[in-house]
Chain A
Amino acid sequence: QQPVQSPQAVILREGEDAVINCSSSKALYSVHWYRQKHGEAPVFLMILLKGGEQKGHEKISASFNEKKQQSSLYLTASQLSYSGTYFCGTVGGSSNTGKLIFGQGTTLQVKP
């Protein structure tokens, strides 16, 4: 089942912060976050596993509440380069099955 992202769109000024949320109705093994710029392929940002491990870029932070099956991506001191569409993806169950389902995306626009 597709995870649900909120908000659908965000407009920021440079230097402002944003939080993007992702929720699922099923138990999750992992939550992925990717950013996609127009006309390009998605780029990896962060993966969070049940149990607390995570892997990602230093300047990106995220959380994963296993009990609520929710994850949040925190974008602080936003830069123009942060603009794009952010997707969360989830793998259900107790292990990496390879079946990664993406949410509908959150469009972020950072203005000067």
Chain B
Amino acid sequence: NAGVTQTPKFQVLKTGQSMTLQCAQDMNHEYMSWYRQDPGMGLRLIHYSVGAGITDQGEVPNGYNVSRSTTEDFPLRLLSAAPSQTSVYFCASSSPRDGFGELFFGEGSRLTVL
């Protein structure tokens, strides 16, 4: 099992450019989430999804779009990148079936916006 796979691992953008961070999981998990982590800070929830076709906003959704057309994939779109979006982005998945919902994280995508 690959687990949670994020691409790209590193990306540099110019202000105003758009891009998509990809996230895929092969564990058949219903739940998927995107977090951002700024230096010395905690993990802040951007968007999350409880199943294909269902997404909801987290703590810091502005400037980001998501969609969930399949169980496996949960891409995060930056429509017009800003320097404030420079961060490390983590995708995570979990399953509610056992009642616990342990998060499995991807390795992270490091984004720099100039």
Contacts and interface: CB of A to CB of B under 8 A. Distances in A.
Question: Do A and B assemble together?
Answer: yes
Interface of A: 2, 30, 32, 34, 40-44, 47, 49, 53, 55, 87, 89, 91, 96-105
B81 to A, nearest CB: 23
Contact of B103 (A2, A34, A40): A34
A99 B105 contact: no
A67 B50 CA distance: 28
Interface of B: 30-31, 33, 35, 41-45, 48-50, 56, 58-59, 90, 94, 96, 98-108
Contacts of B102: 32, 44, 47, 55
Contacts of A41: 90, 105-108
B42 A53 contact: no
Nearest to A88: B42
B99 A96 contact: yes
Given A97-B50, A99-B56, A100-B45, A42 B33 contact: no
Given A47-B102, A98-B33, A105-B42, 11 more contacts: A2-B59, A30-B100, A32-B103, A47-B101, A49-B100, A89-B103, A96-B100, A98-B50, A100-B103, A103-B42, A104-B42
